[in-house]
Structure 1
Amino acid sequence: MELTALLLSRIQFAFTVSYHIIFPSLTIGIAAWLTVLEAVHQYTGKEVYRRVFDFWLKIFAVAFGMGVVSGIVLGFQFGTNWSELSRASGPIQGPLLAYETFTAFMLEASFFGVLLFARSRVRPGFYLFSTGMVALGTTLSAFWIMVNNSWMQHPVGYEVVNGQFVPTDWAAIVFSPVVWVRFPHMLFASYLTGAFCVAATGAWYALRRFSMPEAKVMLRMGLYLAAILMPIQLLFGHLVGDYVHDYQPVKFAAIEGRWHDEQPASEVLWAWPDEDLEKNNFEISIPVLGSLIATMTTDSKEVGLTNFPKDGRPPVLLSFLTFRLMVVLGLLMLFIAWVGSFLARKGRLAENRLMLWAVFFGFPMPFIAIITGWFTAEVGRQPWTVYGLMRTANSVTPTLTVEAASTSLIIFCLAYAIIFSFGTFYIHKLLRIGPKSVDDESSPPMPNRPLGAGMGNVNITV
């Protein structure tokens, strides 16, 4: 494969955005959870919720900072690597990104300092209000980004003037039905990320008999929230599939691994798509299920990839595999959340070390599911940046050289590796120190012994 400025720019943007999305996904979920924690603490007066809040506020601060730093460069890349896209879509994308600054960043910058430094200087009600405003700010940030990206996926409310996409109906852009299925899908994914990270931390502490009152709060609240949200998330995932089916049929065909028209259509559970031979190897499929999923009928005709020219198809293998990985991870998270919640409700979770291990090792699942979901959306949109209107090949900066693109890619990889290493190290240090527990007022770091050592006599009720 020949290295071109276009290919290197795509790799660079995919790398930076994949790295960046980890942190907003976590902070959106944690910010909302911190609001709930503070409300519960003020309502019940139980100090355990305050200790858990203070503990996760530190982690939130580090992750928030890493998200800001890693996200700044994304905006610069629109000018350095994708200037043609910026020139053409600037009248729409520019204001949308500005709205994010004027709403989300304003709220976060105004109230985050209150959370960190002013608990003793403001009334409890105002502190709770500030926590809610930070959570609202992170949510608005996700909203405007999803409006922006959804317009690129399904452009509406515009006209072309002198080669630029000029907005004619902001209401159509902001309130597009595509936005209102994709935004909740991303928002619930972030809430689930926070829930699984919180529950996994509680499981880690429970396995090592460390900060047990706080561990029980984290396990219960994390698993209960995930158990409630996972079915809703799967519903919105299906609604996102409906929009892809209606507005991006070639992406839908690639995700389904469907090469030829079928009526009724089968559902391919597993295969290895061969784009050269236009067929699936090792295919396992269920008849009729494809039509049922696509239209909720048993006899609909579904189009295949061969209806579209080869230069208008997305990379089929990657779209097909990333979608299935996302779905499998979603089902696994549903299983862990429901079984873990059931055991916690019955007071038997602490006795089931296998389940605690499952919860602990479940923490990467929402991150991977989010990344693979974005890969499905963005790779499946190819060869377009603005779907059906502007190709990716026409969006790159014309004067960008291979040497310049290679240099910036290497610099970004090194910079992000350093940021990630230091950030991860510090978050791990905070996790080892743990929350200040009434069981251990001196709050020593977590003991340095092999995880699981001395677990034979664990006797807690979660």
Structure 2
Amino acid sequence: MQEALATTLMLSRIQFAANISFHILFPTITIALGWLLFYFKIRHNISGHPLWMNIYRFWVKVFALSFALGVVSGITMSFQFGTNWPGYMETVGNIAGPLLGYEVLTAFFMEATFLGIMLFGMNRVPNWMHTGATLLVAVGTTLSAFWILVLNSWMQTPQGYELIDGVAHVTSWKEVIFNPSMPYRFSHMLLASGLTACFLVAGLSAYQLLKGDTTTSPRMALTTAIFTAALLMPVQAVVGDLHGLNTFEHQPQKISAMEGVWETEKGAPLLLFAWPDEQARENHFEIGIPKLASLILTHKADGEIQGLNSFADHPPVKPLFFGFRIMVGMGLLMLAVSWLSAFFILRKHQLPNWLLMVLTGMTFSGWIATLAGWYVTEIGRQPWLVTGILKTSDAVTSVANTQVGTSLALYLALYGFLLFAYVQTLFYLAKKNVNASLNSDQGSVNKGLPFIRGGQQ
């Protein structure tokens, strides 16, 4: 019986991880892409130049496709609260239920209502109304992220509740919503979305240029994305550091796993690489910078970091240790590429073909960084589903593991197909846009606007 329950727990965790991994890809794009669309529309309204409307028309298609997949996968994911994790709603449903309801009432309805005007009302409603619909869709996506991250942050650092007969009841909605980690987690996610959307825009625009598009539209979209990413990256680094300090205060065991610190020590090194051994409870092949981890986390070179061996419960070490380094490594690569691209645009007014190929290859780089960071966040609270209130093993379903395994296999097959189709569709749309541009007279669109010139160097 215990073995069957353990298998059900493992399969349910894998299934939820697969669902959340697939789902988060699309809100990560739409949250920021909605604001980029609003920017493109405002630029068109101010200048009256069709260039910006050409950019808007292309990227609104990408937004619609991403929004559709995000909604469908989000609904599927929410079903699992009942099918795989009944103990979750039984214990914290008084808090999780209203927060999810707020998300639907204040955000999803707004997105769904005004999305129709944004997509199909361009030539059917006054321009001010269409621009307003675009703004409200962008606001809706941000509000949706806010409520979801409020719930997720509360699960990490719960406040404003009391337990009565094992059930959580709200004592202060203010403390629930503005729990200690919410501002950092929300800011970090919005910036991650901004960077994901910017590299998506830059990557597909670079692909269009490589395919021979000589019009200004992909060049200006690329320029907008590059400079936005170059500005957001340093801000993300600062917010990420503040988020880390907040985590160090409220979830020190998560930080210890991320840094691979087994014994409490002062002047802990920042490990660039190591191989954590959870059985021996030590690291192998360590390569680190002396005292830097303590300096970053405590602002003192000899600051103390609590070791994993001092905690009764702590999360798995390897996923956090390597996940954190994948996130940071991808972030540094995105910083380097965005700044290098900005340099070429400012100084040379062109991007060489090799850099366009790099940008094309990094079209979905934001996904990698986001997923790595999300895994660190979610695995980092284990063995708790809601920290200090509900353990993951206590919330899992009693459904037979064969049923969970079957549904998991179906999910993985479907998500793999949909993800492949999504990526293929985006590049198909980009190539189709190139062919349409080459077969039309774009002289009036290009005239009188600055642009970067592609070509060999």
Task: Give the TM-score, by structure 1 length.
Answer: 0.92
For 1:385, the aligned partner's letter is L
Q: What does residue 343 of structure 2 align with?
A: 342
Q: Cα gap change, 1:436/1:172 in structure 2, threshold over 3 Å: closer, same or farther?
A: farther
TM-fit CA distance, 1:218: 1.6
Output one character per residue of 1:51-85: Cα deviation in whole Å (capped at 9) or x when no partner: 01001111111111011111111110000000001
TM-fit CA distance, 1:438: 6.0
TM-fit CA distance, 1:401: 1.3
Contact 1:55 1:435 (C-alpha < 8 Å) held by counterparts: no
For 1:144, the aligned partner's letter is W
Q: Cα gap change, 1:211/1:53 in structure 2, threshold over 3 Å: closer, same or farther?
A: farther
Output one character per residue of 1:98-128: Cα deviation in whole Å (capped at 9) or x when no partner: 0000011111111111111111222222211
Matched, 1:392 2:392: yes
Q: What does residue 163 of structure 1 align with?
A: 166
Give the Cα separation in 2 of the matches to 1:435 and 1:190. 26
TM-fit CA distance, 1:440: 3.5
Q: What does residue 401 of structure 2 align with?
A: 402
Q: What does residue 155 of structure 2 align with?
A: 152
Contact 1:201 1:218 (C-alpha < 8 Å) held by counterparts: no
Q: What does residue 450 of structure 2 align with?
A: none
TM-fit CA distance, 1:219: 1.4
Matched, 1:39 2:42: yes
For 1:52, the aligned partner's letter is I
Matched, 1:58 2:57: no
Matched, 1:279 2:282: yes
Give the Cα separation in 2 of the matches to 1:24 and 1:35. 17
Give the Cα separation in 2 of the matches to 1:93 and 1:242. 26
Q: Helix, strand or coil for the counterpart of 2:163?
A: strand
Q: What does residue 353 of structure 1 align with?
A: 353
Output one character per residue of 1:256-300: Cα deviation in whole Å (capped at 9) or x when no partner: 000111112221111010111111111011111111110212221
Give the Cα separation in 1 of the matches to 2:377 and 2:120. 40
Matched, 1:122 2:121: no
Give the Cα separation in 1 of the matches to 2:165 and 2:364. 46
Q: What does residue 362 of structure 2 align with?
A: 362
For 2:297, the aligned partner's letter is A
Structure 1 stretch displaced more, 154-163 or 412-421: 412-421
Contact 1:51 1:436 (C-alpha < 8 Å) held by counterparts: no
Output one character per residue of 1:240-259: Cα deviation in whole Å (capped at 9) or x when no partner: 11111001111110000001
Alignment of 1:56-135 (within 5 A): 56-135=59-138
Q: What does residue 199 of structure 1 align with?
A: 202
Contact 1:260 1:304 (C-alpha < 8 Å) held by counterparts: yes
Alignment of 1:21-40 (within 5 A): 21-40=24-43
For 1:373, the aligned partner's letter is G
> RMSD over aligned Cα, in angstroms?
1.9
Contact 2:353 2:456 (C-alpha < 8 Å) held by counterparts: no
Contact 1:51 1:437 (C-alpha < 8 Å) held by counterparts: no
Q: What does residue 17 of structure 1 align with?
A: 20
Q: Helix, strand or coil for the counterpart of 1:265?
A: coil
Give the Cα separation in 2 of the matches to 1:234 and 1:222. 18
For 1:25, the aligned partner's letter is T
For 1:191, the aligned partner's letter is G
Give the Cα separation in 2 of the matches to 1:404 and 1:171. 40
Contact 2:320 2:380 (C-alpha < 8 Å) held by counterparts: yes
Give the Cα separation in 2 of the matches to 1:441 and 1:364. 30
TM-fit CA distance, 1:435: 6.2
Q: What does residue 291 of structure 1 align with?
A: 294
Give the Cα separation in 1 of the matches to 2:93 and 2:434. 46
User: What are structure 2's unaligned runs of at least 5 residues?
Assistant: 443-452
Q: What does residue 415 of structure 1 align with?
A: 414
Give the Cα separation in 2 of the matches to 1:271 and 1:417. 32
Q: How many corresponding residue pairs?
A: 444
TM-fit CA distance, 1:407: 1.8
Give the Cα separation in 2 of the matches to 1:38 and 1:204. 23
Task: Give the TM-score, by structure 2 length.
Answer: 0.93
Give the Cα separation in 2 of the matches to 1:38 and 1:364. 24
Q: Cα gap change, 1:211/1:400 in structure 2, threshold over 3 Å: closer, same or farther?
A: farther
Q: Cα gap change, 1:77/1:442 in structure 2, threshold over 3 Å: closer, same or farther?
A: farther
Q: What does residue 453 of structure 1 align with?
A: none
User: What are structure 1's unaligned runs of at least 5 residues?
Assistant: 444-456
